Structures are given as structure tokens and as C-alpha cells.
Structure 1
């Protein structure tokens, strides 16, 4: 898992992204685990829902920790058929990071950020492995992934 954390750390540094990577002993796979680990509320965290369109392109829907992403809304927002949720193997292959540690930036994808995420000054996102998180300002997150801001939550 260390290699994934190092990979993301390098990307943050090389891309001049203003963010703090936090590595823990505890697993931060679920929103609840992550919130407990950093002493934050679930609404301070985001989930990166990886989806695949009909052309095998990766789409990442970024929603607040307590929200769910709608494949129908993502399809409508991008004017395509509703994408399907990616499986664990596809997530690792397309993002370069394991499920449960996928960051909101650092790989090739179409990123869509729900407007509710942008209401938060800063958020926690996947840090490269299930043992790490990244704390980043929501504005910086959008700059880092060139995300589209569209309502995609259910």
C-alpha cells in the first residue's frame, strides 16, 4: 500500500497541488472509518464513485460522504447513456489506486463534482490507499482535477 501513497505524494508535489496527505495505522476505507480516524464529520469527506461509459472511459463522480451518486444524473450531465459503476479491478487499472484509497485527482478521467462538495471550504478525499486521506480545499480540488460542477447526487 505504501507505493500508492508515495505515488500520490509525488503527484501532489510535481503538480504543485496545495494539499496535505495523512497516513494512518487505521483503515479509512468507509466514510465512517475515515471520519472517526481524522475526528471529522462524514460531511467533511467526499466519496469518489468510479464509473465507466460505453466507450470504456473513466468518469469519477465526487459527492459528499453522506450522499450517493446517480448514474442517470451523470449520464444526463455528460449527455451520454448512464455509465455503469466500475468494479474493483477496473478501478485499480484505470486510476492506478486501490478501491478504498482512490483520490479525487491524479489520473486520467472525467471528474464531476457535486455542488454540495463545493459548499465546504475544505474536504478529505482518498489518499492513495485505504490507510490514507488527503485534506484539500474544495477550490483546489477542482483546480487539481479540472472537475465539472454538476448536480449528480441522488
Structure 2
């Protein structure tokens, strides 16, 4: 179960707690409404294929990824969004609930610098009705992600 994987990962980090909602939070707007914050404060986790290999980029909920910038930064020929089936296969999470932690397998993870506009951001915790409040520094620390600048 996706939520259980996230909870299991968080056992090593007792300072971090998941919030569960009665309603869906599968978009940045819905999550922001449920939490009473701006959509920008939602840390959306997007799955891309870079030359066919999956990777994750976490950015603010109101930002768009500049795929040309991402392609250049990664030094690959082509970057595109992954389809729903690839998202689930690569991460073990459904689209709309992809968490940057508790992944099924290790895949490259990048945090966009826009996350540091906030003290706390809210990442999905494996379901379309969960959130993990976390500082960008802490998220970077626990995921061992690389910080990049790829938003337009």
C-alpha cells in the first residue's frame, strides 16, 4: 500500500507527520483548499521520462517545468511527462498522490529551488487525500535530492 510505504519511511523521522483528508487533494488547488494555503505551497511531484528513464521533479504547485531547461540540465536528448501507467510502475504511487518519499525503487529526484520560497511545503504522502508538511531543507535532506532551477 502506497500510504504504508510512506509511513514506513517516516518511522526514521518522527518529526514528520502525515495529514489525511476526507476529500481528494489530488491537484495543487484541491490540496491548497483543504490545507488553507496557497497552491504555490503545495509541493507537486511530477514524473518525467528523460531519454526513456523515469525521474521525479518536485516543484511548487503554481509552477510549470521548463522541459527545455530540464533537458539541457540533465544532458539528455528528450524529456517528456510520463503517462499514468509509467507513473504507477516507476513510483508505486497513483497519479495525483506521488510522494517524493517511499518510492518503490530508487529513481533520480530533483527539487526545484522555487520550494525555498516557503518555510513549509506540503508534499503528497502516497494517496490523493494525504499531505506531508515539511521544510524544503528537510525534504532535501531526507530524500538526498539534487536542487535545480527548471521552472518558467
Range that drifts further, 69-78 or 21-30? 69-78
Q: Deviations over 1:102-148 (max 9, x none)?
A: 11223222112111112321100111000111111111110122111
State the alpha-carbon separation in 2 of the partners of residues 73 and 82 from structure 1.
11
CA RMSD of aligned residues (A): 1.4
TM value normalised by structure 2: 0.91
Aligned counterparts, 1:78-117, within 5 A: 78-107=74-103, 108-117=106-115
Superposition deviation, residue 82 in structure 1: 3.0
For residue 19 of structure 1, report the CA deviation from its aligned partner. 2.0
Count of aligned positions: 150
Structure 1 unmatched runs, 5+: none
Listed one character per residue, the Cα deviations across residues 19-74 of structure 1 (whole Å, up to 9, x for unaligned) are: 221111100011110001111111211111100122x3221111111001122111
Kept after mapping to 2: 8 A contact 1:76/1:82: no
> Partners in 2 of 1:149 and 1:18 — Cα distance?
22
Q: What is the TM-score normalised by the length of structure 1?
A: 0.90
Distance apart, 1:17 and its partner CA: 6.7
